[in-house]
Amino acid sequence: MTVIMLTGLAAIIWSLLTLIKFLKLGFVNKRHLDAILFLGSLSFFIGLLGQGIGLSGALDAIQSFPSVSPAAVAGGLKVSMIPPLTGAILFTISGIFWFTLRYQNARKQEA
């Protein structure tokens, strides 16, 4: 969860730094815009990886104890959705920053 938050916050901080650069210079490089999208998507995919690892461990534990209640399994599935949802939220925020900055940058360069 910490790695997801770090990559997501890195995407948001990079977005804000790119916004400041855009406001000062009037344009930004494509590399800066691509980094925003890359860091946001990285947080989402790390969340999916974390869910896969967590579910694998949970299924191993269920296999070793045959009498596990369905409520415990449902609770574990609910908890396993937290990392990908966190990554998806951070990816959405960075995607909004990316789209807005890309649009503004294209408008500035056309004018």
pLDDT at 63: 85
Count of domains for the chain:
1
Would you list the DSSP string of the chain? Answer: -HHHHHHHHHHHHHHHHHHHHHHHHS---HHHHHHHHHHHHHHHHHHHHHHHHHHHHHHHHHHH-S---HHHHHHHHHHHTHHHHHHHHHHHHHHHHHHHHHHHHHHHHH-
Domain with 51 in it: 2-110
pLDDT at 75: 86
Task: Point out the residues of the chain with pLDDT beneath 70.
Answer: none
